[in-house]
Amino acid sequence: MYQAPRGTSDILPQQQVYFKHIADKASLAAYLYGYERIDTPVFEDFGLFSHSIGEETEIVVKEMYVFKDKGDKVLALRPEGTAPLCRAYIEHGMGSLPQPVRLYYFASAFRYERPQAGRYRQHHQFGFEAIGDADPALDVEIIDLAWQLYTSLGIDQLSLYLNSIGCKACRPGYVQALKDYYSPQLSQLCPDCQARWQRNPLRLLDCKQPACQEKAVQAPQSLDHLCVYCRGHFAEVKRHLEALGLPYTLNPRLVRGLDYYTNTVFEIQLRTSSLALGGGGRYDNLIEQLGGKPTPAVGFATGVERIIGYLKEHGIPVPPSPRPEVAIVYLGEAAKSDALKLASELRSEKVAVLLAAGGRSLKGQLRHAGSLGARYVLIVAEDEMRSGTVTLRDMSSHEQKSVPRGEIARFLSPKSQPG
Ligand code: HAM
């Protein structure tokens, strides 16, 4: 028997209500902050991701779904949404629009990770990106948006972790300081970190191995190596956060798992878990790196499954999906076409109707209608239809009355007629 691939899930109707609820809140936040929706393809050139996320990152080296198409082009399922969005920004000449361009997306993302709670091989993200301006106020706008989105979903107990990892000018000096610090103790690091020292020294700081974490505590901090510009930028970010009353904790070991970041990086975490609900930061060099003009940008993405995990764990209810309150049953096969026709007529009047299809007896159909949660049942009988009436049964009071076919909608509760 086939099963959904490991680390992926079907989104069943009872899950859809969570997705819809989160989508509603995220699109409301997008509207309130002026972000417009964009969708990009599920797959892109592999090079787009390796050049932006970083050739040496875990995501590119170990986690990408890479394949050749029939024309021998090397493609990859998107592991994240920022690089595709920057590609689209360049490709569609968005640099000539008033800046910053504010965009958001809701997208599936694919990473070959070891599946566990909150970590899947296919997950979903809402992402928000403000492209074309280096103003620290935009960093804070993005963080505020993220914070307000979580709050609007009933998620409190949040921690905001913040760091600045500098820019092209000051990062190399910091990376050298890190390498110098780790160099005499390389043999005490895990094999992955020994490789990181060579290829991606910043990632030495967020290794999860206890021995490496111990070393990271004493490691040089990027905040002590920022150039004048980056120091000023970060001071403004903190000042605006304080003005908005957004509490943050500086985390000098926060470097994020993608190489495109410059200056501000942040993650929002539940106080009770070490998994980030969402994260982001500035990526002022990425668009230029991908062939566009130098264009500063900042953004954030949140995992949808991690939000759902929180809502379920804390018993936070989400609005149920509306179900038809009216079911149509029929007396005998001869009335079936009449029942179909009546259902169709009612739907054209915006009444949502369930047809009790199948070969059940009237009693069986009524029981079925009850189990579907129908408030009203319309009983269609051939002779009644000829006289232009049907029987309307209120399933809670068990009252029945004969109503003229053209006036059914009037007898139903307004809730039965959405929109
Ligand atoms: P990221 O931190 O790699 O950042 O992913 C963003 C969020 O997606 C994470 O905080 C987490 O909630 C969720 N997520 C990531 N991987 C998984 C997984 N395997 N299973 C379940 N959820 C996951 C980015 O992707 C950046 N593009 C964010 C960004 C936007 N930076 C600037 N703009």
Cα 82 to averaged position of ligand 1 atoms, centre (Å) = 10
- Contact status, residue 310 vs residue 277, Cβ threshold 8 Å: yes
Which one of 6, 63, 80 would you pick to mutate in the ligand 1 pocket, going by the greatest count of ligand atoms within 8 A of its CB?
80
Ligand 1: residue whose CA is nearest its atom 13? 303
Ligand 1: residue whose CA is nearest its atom 30? 300
DSSP state of 40: -
Ligand 1: residue whose CA is nearest its atom 1? 279
Provide φ and ψ at 363, rounded to 5°: -60, -45
- Interatomic CA distance for residues 258 and 55, integer angstroms: 10
Cα 30 to averaged position of ligand 1 atoms, centre (Å) = 18
- Interatomic CA distance for residues 52 and 206, integer angstroms: 20
- Contact status, residue 35 vs residue 128, Cβ threshold 8 Å: yes
**Strand ranges inside 331-399, DSSP E:** 353-355, 376-380, 389-394
Tokens of 307: 């939000």
Burial class (CB in 10 A: 0-12, 13-18, 19+), 372: middle
- Interatomic CA distance for residues 209 and 128, integer angstroms: 32
Cα 59 to averaged position of ligand 1 atoms, centre (Å) = 11
Closest CA to 124 of 299, 247, 269, 302: 302
- Interatomic CA distance for residues 326 and 375, integer angstroms: 6
**Strand ranges inside 58-190, DSSP E:** 66-68, 74-77, 101-110, 122-131, 158-164
- What is the residue whose two structure tokens read 């998994």? 275
For ligand 1, say whether the CB of 80 is within 6 Å of any of its atoms: yes
Amino acid identity, position 328: I
Burial class (CB in 10 A: 0-12, 13-18, 19+), 37: exposed
The CA–CA distances, whole Å, from 107 to 50, 305, 362 equal 19, 12, 46
Burial class (CB in 10 A: 0-12, 13-18, 19+), 161: middle
- What is the residue whose two structure tokens read 């200056």? 263
Q: What is the number of alpha carbons within 13 Å of residue 238 lying toward its C-beta?
A: 15
Q: What integer pLDDT is reported at residue 274 of this predicted model?
A: 84
Q: Is 155 helix (H, G, I), strand (E, B) or coil?
A: coil
- Interatomic CA distance for residues 87 and 106, integer angstroms: 17
Cα 282 to averaged position of ligand 1 atoms, centre (Å) = 14
In 3-state terms, the chain is what percent helix, strand and coil (to 5)?
Answer: 45, 20, 35
Which one of 9, 52, 125, 283 would you pick to mutate in the ligand 1 pocket, going by the greatest count of ligand atoms within 8 A of its CB?
125
Q: What integer pLDDT is reported at residue 363 of this predicted model?
A: 87
DSSP state of 221: -
Q: What integer pLDDT is reported at residue 406 of this predicted model?
A: 86
Sign of the C-alpha dihedral computed for residues 143, 254, 63 and 123 taken in this order: negative
Could you tell me which residues come within 8 angstroms of residue 230 by beta carbon, excluding any fewer than 6 positions away?
Answer: 164, 166, 167, 169, 170, 263
Q: Is 66 helix (H, G, I), strand (E, B) or coil?
A: strand
* Per-residue model confidence as pLDDT tens for the chain (419 residues): 999 999 999 999 999 999 999 999 999 999 999 999 999 999 999 999 999 999 989 999 999 999 999 999 999 999 999 999 999 999 999 999 999 999 999 999 999 999 999 999 999 999 999 999 999 999 999 999 999 999 999 998 999 999 999 999 999 999 999 999 999 999 999 999 999 999 889 999 988 899 999 999 999 999 999 999 999 999 999 999 999 999 999 999 999 999 999 999 999 999 988 889 999 999 999 999 999 999 999 999 999 999 999 999 999 999 999 888 899 999 988 889 999 999 999 999 889 999 987 778 888 888 888 888 889 999 999 888 888 999 999 988 989 999 998 889 888 865 555 44
For ligand 1, say whether the CB of 54 is within 6 Å of any of its atoms: no
Angle, vertex CA 204, rays to CA 199 and CA 207, nearest 5: 125
DSSP state of 391: E
Sign of the C-alpha dihedral computed for residues 135, 136, 141 and 146 taken in this order: positive
Q: What integer pLDDT is reported at residue 419 of this predicted model?
A: 45
| DSSP letters for 228-280 | HHHHHHHHHHHHHHHHHT---EE-TT---S-TT-EEEEEEEEETT-SSEEEEE
Cβ atoms within 10 A of the Cβ of 65, count? 16
- Contact status, residue 290 vs residue 86, Cβ threshold 8 Å: yes
Enumerate the β-bridge partners of residue 130: 102, 298
